[in-house]
Chains A and B, each alone.
Chain A
Amino acid sequence: MAGVYYYDGTFAGLLTLLAPLLPQAILPDAISIDPLPQQGLFAEVMVVETDQQVVEQLWAELEQRLTPSCLKLIRRAFLAGQPERELLICRYLLLAWQVGKKISGLLAHPHVAPLWKLSQQVGREAHRYRGFVRFQEVQGGFYYAAIAPDHWILPLIAHHFAARFRDQQWVIHDTRHGQGIVYDRLRQEWLILPMATHAEPDLTQAEVIFQELWRNYFQTLAIVERKNLRLQQGKVPLKVRPWLVEFT
């Protein structure tokens, strides 16, 4: 039955929530993570507990009903920092239950286009942050970077940084979502862990010099006659600048 559904915020939790709804073609009124008591006055409220067995069953069924690119679309859209993401995924899957694999071609369908757009936004931000991460060498021999992306992109960028900086110890801290990737050089493994904001990192002497070198280099590189701040701001939005060495 329709109503307001609550789950624990994990992808598995969402799948558990959706599993009974999809065969019955039920669209919830809302899907939310934090139960807000005042919203439950008139609507039916359901709190769903994640059930690993249900998840595995549903995932197997999804793999049969959808193409791999559709599954990727859903997983990616789930990382979005947008409150409607769960309902969009639900609408999309309800449509998939009707039309099957054909859904991959229905790019302009009203239940597909918004999800697809959301997934693109996540993918684009993840790509941008491959460039916007700035490591600082901290006392104790590791490199620390803080970022504050709109979407939960850590799972999308971890592999890239692990492949590239495999011989250095590093941490990428997503201060907005309170999580971080920790890379272990010796075991060549990374983990995503909850992470609180630390005090100011204690920089090494070399770090101070390299930051200054980079700032000077960056300033020199601009061609004054071609100044175009509007274009620059489109590419480097103000919200990412506090974390970029060259803008601080």
Chain B
Amino acid sequence: MAVATPLMDKLKILADGAKYDVSCSSSGSFRRNRDGIGNASSCGICHSWTSDGRCVSLLKVLMTNSCIYDCAYCVNRRTNDVRRVMLTPAEVAELTIGFYRRNYIEGLFLSTGVVRSPDYTMELLIEAVRTLRQEYRFNGYVHLKLVPGADPLLVQEAGLIADRVSVNLELPTREGLALLAPDKSRDAVVAPMQQVNKLIVVNRAERQVSRKVPRFAPAGQSTQLIVGATNESDRQIVTLSEQLYQRLDLKRVYYSAFIPVVADTRLPDRPTSPLRREHRLYQADWLLRYYGFSAHELLDDEMPNLESDLDPKTGWALRHLELFPVEVNRVDYETLLRIPGIGVRSAQRIIWARRQGHLTIDDLAKLGVVMKRARYFVTARGRYAGECALESAGLRSRLVSGPAKKGAKQLELPLAQPLASDEATGLISGEL
């Protein structure tokens, strides 16, 4: 039942160009459905997962893959020999509604190559979203890309009809950007981010006074960094993220392990940078946002890169053994969060549950604590449950490989091959 239409061809090409943008979240906004279709759920909903394990939440598509820029890392660069197509704003709206009515998607993620001028392109995007919002009375989630260099007035307009806006920083360092994206300057990228941040702050203050003021980008702004296309260290990346969260109040920084989509002599000649590194960066990112860590605690001059065989929190704990073990029945929430194997949820549960009585080691596992890691760093009612002393030299290797499993081992069949390597299975690109 093949239905070949011009629209199908365009969708394929434009989805192919948009898929390297890893932002997928549909959370953080709240929009009610008034006499139309759709709402934005504050928790975010994933609708499917592709064969690379990434979730599909939004219709992620480009308006056009034509571009006046020539960025070396990008599949849509001017000098790349690919077919160029363009969707009309009406087509974008029609596709979005058609998919949304069937509950395939949570909303729209609209990005684009730059045609004619940044202003012209930005206007096209806004027109598509306006069609959705006004003609179709669509109240679902919309993530809109800001075109670097677009007029501030257009940026303001975009934020008023979208739930989230974003500009991709792409390369963590100024030098990297100059090398790989000679037409883009760092300032052209950072300026709209600063502007959006200001508008969000102003909007928040105005809404304190009157709730009738329309929300500006209620789900905030995000950005993306390509990891491994240039030679920056994890320390530079994590420090940059920390600044983005603190100074520009970003909601998310996404990391994308570099995949060479185009051959270019400016790019470092290397295999695809490991997905493991991307995964560790996301873990460090979570530590910054939810666990009260700062970048300099995780990485410093002596250790510029995250360890690949240990998660960053366990790595930090091993470097600070003098702080452990801690008594889970006594320490505060902030300290609980710093224990490897205890996350936000389990820390909250511990706080809640210990009001009714002292917790034992066995209780911890029932509350969702990962004892495999936590057992070496805690005591409960004064009891320590680690299989080796905290100071023992073998602790590190136990944490890397995990304690030996009790009981009989399953025989390994010589023909059985794992579907995916261990390195890849830990990957997450999901939302919290």
Contact = CB atoms under 8 A, between A and B. Distances in A.
Contacts of B259: 223, 225-226
B296 interface: no
A148 interface: no
A124 interface: no
Interface in A108-124: 108, 113
Interface in B31-80: 32-33, 35-39, 41, 43, 45-57, 59-60
B1 A210 contact: no
A217 B15 contact: yes
Nearest to B275: A226
Contacts of A176: none
B7 interface: yes
Contacts, number: 177
Interface stretch (B112-120, B181-189, B213-221, B420-428): B420-428
Nearest to B26: A131
Interface in B80-117: 95, 98-99, 101-104, 106
A65 interface: no
Most buried by B among A212, A214, A226: A226
Contacts of B59: 217
A163 B39 contact: yes
Nearest to A166: B33
Interface string A208-221: 11101110111011
A107 B98 CA distance: 45
A163 B41 CA distance: 11
Interface stretch (B196-204, B262-270, B359-367): B359-367
Interface stretch (B143-151, B157-165, B312-320, B350-358): B350-358
Given A108-B366, A165-B101, A231-B425, A212 B51 contact: no
B194 interface: no
A130 B45 contact: yes
B151 to A, nearest CB: 32
8 contacts: A127-B45, A134-B102, A163-B33, A164-B39, A168-B37, A217-B15, A226-B53, A228-B425
Given A105-B353, A132-B48, A216-B11, 4 more contacts: A106-B353, A209-B3, A228-B427, A235-B49
Interface of B: 1-3, 5, 7-8, 11-12, 15-16, 19-20, 32-33, 35-39, 41, 43, 45-57, 59-60, 95, 98-99, 101-104, 106, 137, 257, 259, 272, 275, 349, 352-353, 355-357, 359, 362-364, 366-367, 418-420, 424-425, 427
